[in-house]
């Protein structure tokens, strides 16, 4: 796969995960009344993140990008599991505690984007990459 094609593929794969993350993060503060909605958003983010990770594994990436993509894949699997823990919360307190453990961004994404010749990704407001 060429760098250009790899960049296009990566951008397509990451779009749904990024949109689900942004939707989850953009929801109003969780309350007892809206907890189920928040849990559904977290579950959607988990599914989208898992699909992104699976998509990364389906492709053969340029040699110079493969190690970084492999590391990002591992990170995404951990992130999907963290979202699932959020979605499984039964109280607002459990939800908030689990939500603090979700690494919603990673410095690996910037490294992958650079390796694939893509522009820098938008910054996730209020979040420092882990």
pLDDT in tens, the chain (130 residues): 899 999 999 999 999 999 999 999 999 999 999 999 999 999 999 999 999 999 999 999 999 999 999 999 999 999 999 999 999 999 999 999 999 999 888 888 889 999 998 887 655 555 444 4
Assigned domain for 128 exists: no
Model pTM?
0.88
Handedness of CA 46, 49, 55, 60 (dihedral sign): negative
Assigned domain for 126 exists: no
Using the structure block, give the residue that is written with the tokens 């882990």.
130
Quick one: tokens of 18?
């990024």
Assigned domain for 127 exists: no
Assigned domain for 129 exists: no
Assigned domain for 51 exists: yes
Question: What residues make up the domain containing 85?
Answer: 3-115
pLDDT at residue 105, as a whole number = 81
Angle CA 8–66–1, to nearest 5:
45
Assigned domain for 100 exists: yes
pLDDT at residue 121, as a whole number = 65
pLDDT at residue 129, as a whole number = 43
By CB atoms closer than 10 A (0-12, 13-18, 19+), residue 119 is: exposed
Assigned domain for 125 exists: no
Number of domains in the chain: 1
User: What are the backbone dihedrals phi and psi of residue 83, each rounded to the nearest 5 degrees, phi first?
Assistant: -60, -40
């Amino acid at each position: 796969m060429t760098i250009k094609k790899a960049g296009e593929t990566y951008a397509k794969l990451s779009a749904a995960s990024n949109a689900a993350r942004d939707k989850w993060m953009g929801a109003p503060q969780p309350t007892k009344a809206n907890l189920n909605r928040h849990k559904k958003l977290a579950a959607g983010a988990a599914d989208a993140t898992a699909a992104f990770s699976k998509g990364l594994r389906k492709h053969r990436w340029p040699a110079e990008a493969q190690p970084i993509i492999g590391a990002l894949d591992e990170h995404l699997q951990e992130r999907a599991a963290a979202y699932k823990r959020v979605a499984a919360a039964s109280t607002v307190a459990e939800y908030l505690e689990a939500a603090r453990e979700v690494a919603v961004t990673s410095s690996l994404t910037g490294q992958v984007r650079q390796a694939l010749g893509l522009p820098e990704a938008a910054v996730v407001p209020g979040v420092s990459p882990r």
